[in-house]
């Protein structure tokens, strides 16, 4: 989690990357990581967490299951291999 740098965004932070090794997936690790980051953000007084994900990905489903919602979409941000 990276706190926002701007004075007018002190209420927000960005989740930079959450990765779970392929062989360890589907065991609830991602859910626990997101819960832990959300709790850290809450304790730091953050009311908004932002992140970038790929539409239709497992990450999108995971964040949706944790109560997070899309706030906007970027196109052509990164290329897929």
Q: Domains, the chain, ranges and CATH?
A: 2-65 (3.40.630.30)
Helix (H, G, I), strand (E, B) or coil at 53: coil
More confident residue, 32 or 81: 32
CA distance 77 to 46: 26
What average pLDDT does range 39-55 have in this prediction?
90
Can you list the pairs that 3-8 forms with residues at least 24 positions away whose Cβ atoms lie under 8 Å?
Answer: 3/44, 3/46
Backbone angles phi, psi at 49, to 5 degrees: -115, 135
Q: What's the pTM value of the predicted model, to 2 decimals?
A: 0.74
What average pLDDT does range 6-12 have in this prediction?
89
Chain-centroid distance of CA 32 in Å reads: 12
Tokens 């970038």 label which residue? 52
Backbone angles phi, psi at 48, to 5 degrees: -140, 125
């Amino acid at each position: 989690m990276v706190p926002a740098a701007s004075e007018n965004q002190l209420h927000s932070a960005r989740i930079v990357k959450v990765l779970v090794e392929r062989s360890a997936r589907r065991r609830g690790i991602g859910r626990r990581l997101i819960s832990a980051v959300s709790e850290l953000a809450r304790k730091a007084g953050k009311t908004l967490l932002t992140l970038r994900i790929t539409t239709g990905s497992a990450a999108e489903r995971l964040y949706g299951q944790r109560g997070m919602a899309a706030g906007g979409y970027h196109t052509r941000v990164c290329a897929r291999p």
